[in-house]
Chains A and B, each alone.
Chain A
């Protein structure tokens, strides 16, 4: 079945450091890929998405490119801020958009 695997956390970075959170997926067909973010005490918020191969999703300085050849959708940000501290979830929806599959989440802490 479809699944998402993302790097284990927690991740701790200094402010202005470069961030990469790895995400790989297994899916049949042509899934859509997402990154969600969850701030403490809140629900998940959509951060960015890509619906087909080679698409790049971007938002708030975060980027991820849908790589079909490596079945990956790694999240990157060039310079993290303290306010980026949160849990990040990689997710996919099957090609019918019928069901979402989430990774286990990666906790990011950014220290000043």
Chain B
């Protein structure tokens, strides 16, 4: 069974631009969560989607948004990029809410210059 895939793996953007990251969960998994990982803040929860609905949202500004499609694939979008948005963005999938086990993708490394 294929794992969680994230595209692109690396991205360089300029301040003020916007970016869209993609995540394809493990086949059959309907829940997708997004995390931001930085050296200073560690892993911070962005949001979780299940069956195309956002179930939970972390404490991030409205510039960070996401969506989930009917095939469970998910995208997250960051608008008006800031230097502080440089991070590794990780996607995790699970079979559903309360499944307790999350499977992580390799991440997208975003650098904002």
Contacts and interface: CB of A to CB of B under 8 A. Distances in A.
B101 A99 contact: no
Interface residues of A, number: 22
Contacts, number: 50
Contacts of A104: 42
A59 interface: no
Interface string A78-105: 0000000000010001001111111111
Nearest to B47: A99
Contact of B100 (A44, A97, A101, A105): A97
A42 B90 CA distance: 10
Nearest to A33: B100
Nearest to B41: A104
Interface in B67-113: 90, 92, 97-107
Nearest to A96: B98
A45 B101 CA distance: 10
B108 to A, nearest CB: 10
B48 A89 contact: no
Interface of B: 4, 33, 35, 42-43, 45, 48, 55-56, 90, 92, 97-107
